[in-house]
Each structure stands twice: as structure tokens, then as C-alpha cells.
Amino acid sequence: MVSSSLTPPTHDWLIISRSLLLSIHLLGISCFAYIVARRLAPLVRAERDLRFDRPLIRAGRVFKFWLGQWRHPRYKFAGTLHILIFAGFILLVARAFSTLIIGVNANFVMPGLSGLVGRFYNLATDYAATAVFLCMVIAAVRRLVYKPERYAVPAKYGKSHTADAVFLLALIAVLMVADSLFAASTAASHRLQGQPVETLAFLSLPWILQGSLRPSLGTVADVRFAAYLVHELAFYFLLCYRPFGIQFHVETSLFSIYFAKLERGTVKPVRWAVSDERLDQVKSLGVKKFEDFTWKHMLDFYSCADCGRCSDNCPANAAGRPLAPRFLTIKARDYAFQHYPVFGKANNSKPLIGNVYSENEIWSCTTCAACEEECPLLVEYIDKIVDLRRGMVDDGNVPQSLQRPLKALESRGNPYGKMEKKRADWTKSPEFQQTCDVKILDGKRDADTLYFVDSITSYDERMQSIGRSTARILSRIGENFGILGAGEKDSGHDVRRFGEEMLFLALRDHNSDAVKASEVKRIVTADPHAYNALKHDYKNVPPVEHMSQVIAREVKAGKIQFHPIEDENKVFAYHDPCYLGRHNQVYDEPRSVLDAIPGLKRVEMKRSRDRSFCCGGGGLMLFYEPQEEQRMGVLRVRMAAEAGANVIVTACPFCMANIEDAIKVAGMEGKMSVIDLTELADQQIVQQSLRETQRLREPATCGG
């Protein structure tokens, strides 16, 4: 910061009090080190987490998400504020250190920041400090006056966090003022002594403060020392206070982002470095107490900035379920602070379920990943929830409503308890068989492509129509495909995400063997849950595509044409299924299919693509009885209506089930309908003969 050597005036307190300032430095640094060491204590005892691979990719993500603040603009105002504050802080780092060191070495100049570069840097940081200061004021006003909803703390979660937040904002503001005042008074001091004066940036905070200083050397020296002391104390106070609250993210964010999960769509193994075969030997599965979390998950708890963006986008939260992701993290963090205190011994480990979390809180999650998509710190949620579920399953603590489908999955390979031999019955209705022959790959027949149907499409009478539409489209494009029939069991996608890992492994192994035996080269499915499982949870199976991708490709290649939509009044809105959209980022292909249908009027709902709003959940979630104020599906259907649509198009049978139900519950029958992408494509596809087109116009009657 300040360049030239100063001949100490009679009362340059700064130099006289060097030992005081030095001791503050030492005290501050050692306190901080101690506090951080105490905070790291539980992490050292935590479960292992293998996050040290692919350093280049991880570094790249640090660049994008940390330095680049990539997630922040999703909330424009707060995001802009934060970007400014963050940029300001980064810029100010060198200046802050220089200032601190000057206390013990009056002539210190940061290496590389001398001469012209230094002058430029000082001007820039003058503005940076000003900007940060202004942002603090705006942020405080925003918190106190405008009170954005996502910061609110419902009574059951404790006291409001506003006081603490504003306190910290105030402290940082003080820091900026102290720094600026120090710069201003240093310049004033030089001027009064006839020494070269640093230029203060025009209209910056230091520049403004300079005008308020009385031109007496003694006063200026006093002000300078006071500013310095305040700066140093504020700096170290903040440094040591941050690890006690949400501001710890200032230090931990770099690490939480570096070590963040790289894979999408899959769930962590029960124990890293314990293979599936050896899981039987593990004494306890899942997370039952705090120490069962991995160190990265504990780091996540420390890293939460309490911004509330996750809960703001959580559909369970919106529906009034007892789940708010933000508080999953805050409660765990508070637990860590309480049971692993900085002052005192680690104490009283308690089971998490029943003490920190309620069972319903953990079962309420649909694993839609809206929270993970928002979090600027890349905090992970789904893995934690799955681990907590694994713990409950291990203890036998499973809601009765889920025990029946789990048992049915175990004995019959589908959650409905229907007989295995009937899994392919949907292909057997006479009307359908005339239009389409679906091969069963039972060893006697083979094919290039496997159509993995999965349970709901196989057994649910309404969803079987999706199966038939899919089969017809595959036939039409000349795909040599077949299904596994009775040899197929449930993909197990949601069995895994509901914590029944062993049952999932059994289903996965069975299906993997069946797929391998069929010798197909690729897999297609119309079920995003099956798609996600085959793509991410299953190993060593052929590549898998979703039907929307298949159709989109054929459309692009000109091999599929569509008849125009006849009803002018229909307005379509595409609903992104969570496991096709957010988890696998397939947003454009389904839309391109819709846009290829002539005369199809399409609108986008406010929440679409990666901000899509979960329909209510699929797989086992259809059996769970949640405590909620209203259904997620009902909220979604209203969003469609708000966007001006009267037809919802979706690409997932579970979305179909939830939305169809929601239309009834919301009393919107006649005003809103829903159709699957494959059904719509099947309906509109240009057939060979007009007669076929007319016969296949209504999907409900097709195939019986």
C-alpha cells in the first residue's frame, strides 16, 4: 500500500506501537489456526471420501464456479452484489496483507506491487473497497427492509439469522472504512509533511474520507493509528469469527468447490473403497450419526452460506413437506458446532434421525437435484439423503407404505407385486399386435437394440400406452429391437435412492446379466429413471439413449415427418422431467421434436430446463405418503396454465402419472391435458396409409 519510507514523526503511533500490533498479529493468527484445527477435528474422524482424482478437471471447476462465480447470476440482484463483493475481496487481498504487515514493517511493499503497477493497484483497490462498502450497505438494507423470503427462518428451525448477517455486513463495512481511512490519513500525513502523496482514486471512499480530515499532523497521525488499529482488530475478529457461522464459506468455498462431486446422476457407493461384494462385511450401512458422514459432507455443512437458493427451488419445500435443504445443512452444521466445539471437548454423539432430522424430512426428498443445481458452493444433497435413508433401512426404520413395494420388488421384480410372466402382456393385445410385433429377447430371438421398458410402463394400464407408442416408433424407423419381457426386472433406480442398496444391487446384477446375454449393442428407453440408472448406476452395459434423443435424431435426419396439429386451440408446454433434464441435461432434443410438428404452438413455463419443477417424484415415491400442504403436481399444473398452455407434454411415465392425477385434484379436467412425447409423436407421425393414421389418432384406444 503506502510506498515511501516514513521518517517517523514525533508521534507516529504506528511505529511506536509495533509490539502491540505484532502481538495482535500473532494472537489473531494463532487463534485462527486453533479454531480451524478444531473445526477440522470431526473431518479427520469422518468416513473417507475419494475426491483427490482428476485434479485438472477440479481446478477447472474452481476457475468456473469459484473464481468465475458461475452460479451466482441465477439470482440477478443478489448474484451481482456477490460478484462485486467477491471480486472486491479478491482484489483487496494483497492490499489487506500489505496493510497488516506495515504495522510491523513500516516500509513494507508487496512484491510486484511497486512503481506503476502498485499505483494502478492502489487506485483499483480504492474503488474495490468503495464498491464493497456500498454493497454492504445495499445488502444490509435488503436484509432489513426488503427481507427476501428465502432468508426467512420458519419458527421450527429457530431464530432468525438476520441479526448475525447484518452484524457481519457491518463488520466488513467497518473494515472497508477503516482501510479507506487509513489510506486517506496516510496520504494526508504525507502531504502535511511535505512528502510525495499517493493519489487516491477520484470519488472513492478514501478520496471522500480524505476531505473530512482536519489538516493537523497530530490529528491525522491519531486518526491514522486509530484507523489502523480498527482495521487490524476488525480483520482478525472477522477471521476468527467466520468459522463460527456461515461466513466460514469465505475460507472453505475454494475447497468445497475443488472437492465437489464430478459425476452427475449417480449416487455415491455405500462406502468408498468398499466394493459391492464386500458390503456384507460392513457392520453398519448408511449414515446414522454425524460421524458417519464423509469429510466432504462435513465440509459442505461448514460451507453453506445460508443463501436459501436451494430451499427456494426445492419442490418439496414449496409443497409444504417437512424438507428444506438449507436447513438440512444448517442443522447439521449447528450439530457439529455444538458437539465439536472450538472450546471444549467433543461430546454426546446422538443419532441424527429423531434428534436433528425427522424421518419424514428425509423420506420427503424426490432427488430432483434442484437444490444441487442452484448452490453456488456446489454443496451436495442427494448423496447425504440417500446415506441417511440407507441408515434408516439398515435399522429397519422404513415407512409401512414403502415396505410393501420393496417386498414386491424383492419377490416379483416390480413394486406392484404383479407376476413376472405378465411383464410383457402389454405387447399382447390383438389390436396392437397387428400393427407391431415386439420381439421378446429370451435367447431364441435376438436384436441390435434393447428397449428397456421398466416396471411402470410394463404393468400400469395407462403407461402401457407409452410402451406401445415407443414400440411403434421404433418399428417405424426400422430399428431391430426387442424387449427382455419376463426376464426384465425393475431397473432399481429408485430402490437405490431410497436406501435399499442391497436390493438395488440384486436387481442391477440380474438386469445386467440379462442385457449381456441378449447381446444387444445399444439400449433405448422412454423412462428417464431407467435411462439414468442404465447410464450412471449400471456398469458394463451398452450405451443407452432416451426416446426423445432417438426421435430427435430421426427427425433431424429427415426420416420422420409429422402431420400438423389440427386443433388450433391447443397450446403445448414441455415439462422437463428431472432425470432427463437436470440430471442428464437433455433439454433440447424433446423440444426439437415438438418444434418439428407443424402448427404446434409451444410455450415455455417459467420454470423450465434446469429450473424445471419436479412433478412429485417417481419410482417408490409414488407409494410414499408424504405430509404436505399440496401436491407438487398441482403446483406444476398451475404453472402450465399460467404460461398459457392447455396441454402438458412430458417424457417420463412418472411425470405422466403425477400430472394426470394433479389435473384431477386441481379440478382442471377439460382445461388441461397431458400427453407423453412418444405418444404425441406416435399420434402425429406420418404413416404409410391414411387409414392407419386415423386408427392411431387416439392413443387411449390403441392397443386396447
Nearer to another protein, 383 or 500 (CB): 500
Strand, coil or helix: 483 = strand
Runs of H (alpha helix) within 54-114: 55-61, 76-102
Helices 249-258 and 295-303 pack at an angle, to 10 degrees, of 140
Nearer to another protein, 59 or 419 (CB): 419
502 makes contact with another protein (CB under 8 A)? yes
Nearer to another protein, 328 or 503 (CB): 503
Nearer to another protein, 403 or 433 (CB): 403
Q: Which of 263, 280, 568, 698 binds another protein (CB under 8 A)?
A: 280
Binding mask 285-324 for another protein (x = CB under 8 A): x---------------------------------------
Nearer to another protein, 126 or 501 (CB): 501
DSSP 702: T
Residues in CB range of 571: below 8 A, 6 or more apart: 601, 602, 603, 644, 645, 646, 647
Q: What are phi and psi of 544, to 5 degrees?
A: -120, 145
396 makes contact with another protein (CB under 8 A)? yes
625 makes contact with another protein (CB under 8 A)? yes
Restricted to residues 652-681, the positions that interact with another protein (CB under 8 A) are 664-665, 669
Strands (E), 357-445: 439-440
199 makes contact with another protein (CB under 8 A)? no
Q: 449: which strand partners?
A: 481, 522
Alpha carbon distance 187, 2 (integer Å): 8
Cell of 455: 416396471
193 makes contact with another protein (CB under 8 A)? no
Tell the smallest beta-carbon distance from residue 280 to another protein (Å): 6
Nearer to another protein, 166 or 279 (CB): 279
Nearer to another protein, 566 or 629 (CB): 629
Cell of 696: 392411431
- Count of residues touching another protein (by CB under 8 A): 35
Alpha carbon distance 473, 470 (integer Å): 5
47 makes contact with another protein (CB under 8 A)? no
503 makes contact with another protein (CB under 8 A)? yes
115 class by beta-carbon count within 10 Å (0-12 exposed, 13-18 middle, 19+ buried):
exposed
701 makes contact with another protein (CB under 8 A)? no
Tell the smallest beta-carbon distance from residue 625 to another protein (Å): 6
Nearer to another protein, 225 or 363 (CB): 363
User: Stretches 195-203, 312-320, 365-373, 402-410: which one binds another protein (CB under 8 A)?
Assistant: 402-410
Q: Which of 395, 509, 595, 610 binds another protein (CB under 8 A)?
A: 395
Alpha carbon distance 674, 528 (integer Å): 17
275 makes contact with another protein (CB under 8 A)? no
Q: Which of 361, 383, 394, 679 binds another protein (CB under 8 A)?
A: 394
Cell of 176: 472497508
Cell 441390435 sits on residue:
448
Alpha carbon distance 693, 682 (integer Å): 9
User: Stretches 90-98, 219-227, 397-405, 572-580: which one binds another protein (CB under 8 A)?
Assistant: 397-405
Nearer to another protein, 400 or 689 (CB): 400
698 makes contact with another protein (CB under 8 A)? no
Q: Which of 216, 403, 434, 701 binds another protein (CB under 8 A)?
A: 403
Alpha carbon distance 279, 503 (integer Å): 12
Nearer to another protein, 308 or 405 (CB): 405
Alpha carbon distance 651, 683 (integer Å): 15
Q: Which of 135, 181, 298, 408 binds another protein (CB under 8 A)?
A: 408
187's enclosing H/E stretch is helix 162-192
Tell the smallest beta-carbon distance from residue 404 to another protein (Å): 8
645 makes contact with another protein (CB under 8 A)? no
Q: Which of 40, 250, 254, 506 binds another protein (CB under 8 A)?
A: 506
Q: Which of 183, 187, 207 is nearest to 197 (CA)?
A: 187
Q: Which of 76, 421, 444, 606 binds another protein (CB under 8 A)?
A: 421
Nearer to another protein, 396 or 478 (CB): 396
Tell the smallest beta-carbon distance from residue 631 to another protein (Å): 7
Tell the smallest beta-carbon distance from residue 292 to another protein (Å): 16
Alpha carbon distance 701, 703 (integer Å): 6
Tell the smallest beta-carbon distance from residue 319 to another protein (Å): 12
User: Stretches 158-166, 216-224, 388-396, 423-431: which one binds another protein (CB under 8 A)?
Assistant: 388-396
Residues in CB range of 507: below 8 A, 6 or more apart: 409, 413, 489, 490, 491, 492, 495
Cell of 629: 400442504
398 makes contact with another protein (CB under 8 A)? yes
Q: What is the amino acid identity at position 342? A: V
526 makes contact with another protein (CB under 8 A)? no
448 makes contact with another protein (CB under 8 A)? no
Alpha carbon distance 112, 649 (integer Å): 59
DSSP 563: P
**Backbone Cα Rg of the chain:** 31
Q: Which of 12, 222, 410, 610 binds another protein (CB under 8 A)?
A: 410
490 makes contact with another protein (CB under 8 A)? no
Nearer to another protein, 3 or 658 (CB): 658
Q: What is the DSSP string of 102-149?
A: HTT-TT---TT-SHHHHHHHHHHHHHHHHHHHHHHHHHHHIIIII--G
620 makes contact with another protein (CB under 8 A)? no
540 makes contact with another protein (CB under 8 A)? no
What's the order of all strands across the beta sheet hosting 571-575? 601-603, 571-575, 647-650, 673-676
Residues in CB range of 56: below 8 A, 6 or more apart: none
Tell the smallest beta-carbon distance from residue 560 to another protein (Å): 33
Q: Which of 155, 633, 634, 52 is nearest to 368 (CA)?
A: 633
* Interface residues toward another protein, by CB under 8 A: 279-280, 285, 393-398, 400-404, 406-408, 410-412, 417-421, 500-503, 506, 625, 631, 664-665, 669
